[in-house]
Structure 1
Amino acid sequence: MNFAKIINKSGLKIIILLCAYVHGNHIKIRQTQSQAIDPKNAYRNGHAVDEIKKIKMQELGLQNATNSINDFETTSSLTNHNKTKTYIDLINVTDSYFYGLIRVGNPPQEFRVAFDTGSSKIWIPGNECKSLSCLQHRMFDRNLSNSYVAENSGLQIEYGAGKVEGKIGRDTIQLGPIKLNNTRFLHTEAQDHIFELPQTVFDGVFGLAIDPNKDEKLSPIHNIIDNLSIKQKLFTFELPKGHNSTGKLTFGEINQELYQVNYSKAYGNSTSFTKRSNSTALLDTGTSFILGDSWTINKLNKDMGVDVNTNRIECSAVKYLKPIKIVLDNRVFRLYPKDYILKDKKNHACYSAFMKKSDGPPLILGISFLSKFYSIFDIDKQRVGLAPIESKFKENIN
C-alpha cells in the first residue's frame, strides 16, 4: 500500500503527487508540496470524453434515451439492509462511472448518486426543475418531507462542460446504514444537458472531498465520519471493471483479507509531501478516464499510435502495446492495454483512455486507473493509499 498526503481547496479535490513527463510508455509522478486546485469535475471535461461515453452506452444498447430512469434499471441490488456494515454498494455503468443509493427526507425519497472524491457538495434534482435532465430523473419534492428546512439561499455549481443551480436546504440523508440528520444539500432548479440520459444514469452527485478545516457547510464527509462509531476515520473504494458489476464504498474499515496487504506496515511507511516538484495529481472517482495536460497526453498517445484528435487507435495495433507505468511516490502502478484501451465492439473501434484537458491539476486519475486498485482516503492522517488488486507487490523506482 502506498500513501501520500492529501491536498484540498475549497473542500474539493483530494490530491496526490505529480510531476509528469513521458519517456516511452512511462509517466513518472513524484511528490509535491500542497497547491490550490480550482474546483473541476473532470469527467465533464471535453467533447472527446462525452463522445466516448456515448459510444460505450450505444454498445450496451443504452443509446435511446426516454423520459424515465426506469429504462436503465440494473440487475444488481443497491440496498444494504445489514445495519452492522458501513458500506454502500456501487453499480458500474459502462466502466465510466459508479453510482449508489441515498435516501433524502422523511419519509425518504430515493436517489442514485455518483460518489465523487473530486467535489464536496451534495446535489439532486428538485421537482421545480424543468430541465430535461431533471425530468428524466428522480426529483426531490421538499413538500413531501416532514424534516426539510429551507435555507433560502441559492447556489450554482460549475463543471468543465456544464452546470447545475438551485436552492440549498437541510434534511435527513441516509446512505446505506448511515443516517445524517440536518444535512445541507442542493436541490436543483436548472441543469445542463450534460446530465441527460443516456450518458448520465445517476440522478445527482454526493461529494466526498475532504475539507481539512471542517468549515464548509455543504461538505458532508466530516459529518459522515463523526456520526460513525469507528476507530479509523477513513473511507475506501472497490471499483471493479464490467458494466453492471458491483463495487463498494466503505467507511471506517480496510479490507485486508481480500487484498492480502500488510496495512500496518503500510501505515508505518506513509509518506508526506516535499518540495521536489511543483505539480499535483488527483485521484477522482468522479472522472471516467485519465486526464492530463496536452503535451503529456499527446506525446503518450502518439507513441502508442493513437490519433491525438479523436483518441482513436487501430484495434489491430492494440496487441502490440506495452504496459504503461505510472509512478506515484517512487512506486510503480502498471496499466495494461486492457486497462487503458476502450473498445467499441459495435463499431469495431478502439480508443485511448488518456484524454487531454485544458486546466486543473496536471494529471487526473479516474475510473480507468482506479478500477485497478483498492483506494483508501484517510481523513485523520490527510493521505490517500493504493493497493493493486491483482497483486500485493509493487516495484520500487530508485
Structure 2
Amino acid sequence: MNLPSVAVLVLTLVSVCAAHLLNKPDLQNKRAAWQFKSSSRQLRPLGRPLRPLRPLRQPYQRPMQLLKQQRPRKTSQRLNQRSEGDFPLNAQAKDVKLTNSYNNLYYGPITIGTPGQKFNVSFDTGSSITWVPSIRGQRDYATVPNLFQRYNNLSSSSYKANGEAFEQSYEFGQVAGFLSQDSVMISGLKSQNQTFGEAIIIPNNMFIGDPNDGIFGLGFSNGRDEEPTVFDSLVSQGLLPAPVFSFYLNRFDSGEPDSVLTLGGTNPEYYTGDFTFAYLTVPDRWQFKIDRVQLADGARVSRSWTGHQAVIDSSTSLIVGPMEEVNALNEKLGGKRVKGSPGLFELDCSQLDNLPDVEFVVNGHKLSVSSKDYVLKILGEKWSMCLSGILGKRWARNETPFWRLGLSFMRGYYTQFDKGNRRIGFAKTKH
C-alpha cells in the first residue's frame, strides 16, 4: 500500500457497538473496503476486499484451563485513602513522549525486567491492567501474532512468578494470559515488583499496521482486579508528586509539537487558559455529566440534546453517542447515511470549512470539537470521501445511554485526569 497516495485512517469504535455499527459497508469501486481490527475497538480502511476475521487458532478455554486460578489479591493501600500531605514534595512530574499513529492511537515506550525489555504501548484510560505479549504465547500456544515484541521472564533477574489468570475483553475476542511481577520503567521512573499481564492469547487482527505491542492501563482498579496499576504504584512509591496525569495530543502529520503524557501533574507548555473541571459520577470510571450536546453556527445553537453522561476514553479514536441523537446531529451537518452501516454518515468534502463545531456543554462551559477533528477524510489516487467521526450506537433497554469521547475530542483539549480529587479537567490545547 502506498501511504503517500492513500491516507490510512484508522477509525476506533467502542467494543459494545462496533460489531453492529459497520456491518457490510457499500464502499466498493471508488471507495476503500473496510476490515475490522480489534485492539482498542478499531476499524481501518485498507483499500482491499473485505476478508472474514480469522478465528483464534486455539479455543479460549484451553489455555485458561492450563493457568493456575487464584483469587485476586487486594492492594494494601488505595489512593483515595491518602490525604494531600501524604504525597512527596521532592518528586517531579515526568513527561512521556508519545508517537501519533495516523490519529488512531498514541504509543510510548516502557521497559520491563532487568535488563529492561522495551515495548511500545498505548495508554488506555478505560482499563486498569498493563499487559504485553509473552514469549510463552508463541512457544506454548502459538496464538500471539508475529507483530509484537515479547516479554521473556527467563531473561529477567527481577522477575517473580504470580500465575494468576487475567483476561480483557474486546469486540472480536479476548486478550488472556497470566499475571507476573517485575520492574516496570516509564520515563525513568521504575515501579518495583509491579504486577502486569503476560498475554498468551491476542486476537489475530489486533494492532495490525500499528507499531504497538500492548496496553498501559490508566483506569481504576476495581473489585475484580485490585492489583494496583503502574501509575498507582509510582504514586504510592513516592516517585510522583500527585495522583494526576495529563494528555497533550497532536494531529497527525500537522507539524504540531510531539504528543506528551505527563505523569504526576500538568505541563503549562501545552495548554492555555483555565481548566474546566467535571467531577466523576462513577467512582471507578472516568465518567462525568454533560449538560447537553449541541451544534453551534457562530452564536446560534442549531440543535441541542440534554441529559447524558460521558466517558473520556483514550483507547477510542472517535466520538460515539446515542443512535437517535447522533443521527439527528449528522443529518443537521448535511450527512448522508452509509448503506448497511447504522450510525455512520458520509459528509460533503467540499463543505468541510463551513461545518459548525460540535459542543459538549459541561458545567455551563462549552467544549467545542471542530470539523478538522470530527471529520475523517480518506484520499485515494482519483477519489476522496469524508466520513463523520461521530458515530451512533444503540443501547439495550436496560442500559443507560452515554457519550464516549475519544481521541478526536482529546486533541482539542489538554485533558487532566485527577485521581485524588476524582475529577477531569479540560483546558484549550496549544496547537
TM-score by length of 1: 0.72
- Deviant stretches of 4+, over 6 Å: 212-215, 274-278
- Equivalent runs, 1:201-212 vs 2, <5 Å: 201-211=211-221
Aligned to 1:99: 107
Q: What's the % identity of the aligned pairs? A: 25
C-alpha separation between the residues in 2 aligned to 1:327 and 1:84? 33
Aligned to 2:364: 330
Q: CA deviation at 1:356?
A: 2.4
C-alpha separation between the residues in 2 aligned to 1:262 and 1:329? 14
Q: Which amino acid aligns with 2:196?
A: F
- Equivalent runs, 1:1-398 vs 2, <5 Å: 42=14, 45-46=17-18, 48=22, 53-55=43-45, 86-130=94-138, 134-198=145-209, 200-211=210-221, 216-217=226-227, 219-243=229-253, 246-262=258-274, 279-308=308-337, 309=341, 310-346=344-380, 347-358=383-394, 362-389=402-429
> What is the aligned-residue RMSD (CA, Å)?
3.2
SS of aligned partner of 2:317? coil
Q: CA deviation at 1:287?
A: 0.8
Change (3 A) 1:58 1:319: same
Are the counterparts in 1 of residues 310 and 405 from structure 2 also a CA contact under 8 Å? yes
Q: Which amino acid aligns with 1:332?
A: K
C-alpha separation between the residues in 2 aligned to 1:113 and 1:325? 31
Change (3 A) 1:319 1:84: closer
SS of aligned partner of 1:194? coil
C-alpha separation between the residues in 2 aligned to 1:228 and 1:338? 40
Q: CA deviation at 1:249?
A: 0.8
SS of aligned partner of 1:129? helix
Are the counterparts in 1 of residues 132 and 150 from structure 2 also a CA contact under 8 Å? yes
C-alpha separation between the residues in 2 aligned to 1:315 and 1:99? 30
Q: Which amino acid aligns with 1:201?
A: P
Q: CA deviation at 1:311?
A: 2.9
Change (3 A) 1:132 1:165: closer
Question: After superposition, what is the alpha-carbon deviation per residue over 1:279-329, rounded to whole angstroms, capped at 9, x for unaligned?
Answer: 421111111100112112222122223233343223123233212111122
Question: After superposition, what is the alpha-carbon deviation per residue over 1:215-251, rounded to whole angstroms, capped at 9, x for unaligned?
Answer: 7115333112223444432111111111496211111
Are the counterparts in 1 of residues 189 and 239 from structure 2 also a CA contact under 8 Å? no
Are the counterparts in 2 of residues 41 and 159 from structure 1 also a CA contact under 8 Å? no
SS of aligned partner of 2:336? coil
C-alpha separation between the residues in 1 aligned to 2:17 and 2:115? 37
Q: Unaligned regions of 5+ residues in structure 2, if any?
A: 1-11, 23-33, 37-41, 49-90, 282-287, 292-305
TM-score by length of 2: 0.67
C-alpha separation between the residues in 2 aligned to 1:153 and 1:357? 35
- Point out the more displaced range, 179-188 or 293-302: 293-302
Task: Name the count of aligned residue pairs.
Answer: 323
Change (3 A) 1:279 1:224: farther
Change (3 A) 1:257 1:155: closer
Change (3 A) 1:211 1:330: farther
Are the counterparts in 2 of residues 89 and 248 from structure 1 also a CA contact under 8 Å? yes
Question: After superposition, what is the alpha-carbon deviation per residue over 1:152-201, rounded to whole angstroms, capped at 9, x for unaligned?
Answer: 22222102333211111111100111101111111111111331421x43
Are the counterparts in 2 of residues 43 and 288 from structure 1 also a CA contact under 8 Å? no
Q: CA deviation at 1:202?
A: 1.0
Please identify which structure carries the higher strand content: 2
Q: Unaligned regions of 5+ residues in structure 1, if any?
A: 1-39, 60-82, 392-398
C-alpha separation between the residues in 2 aligned to 1:338 and 1:132? 39
Q: CA deviation at 1:257?
A: 4.7
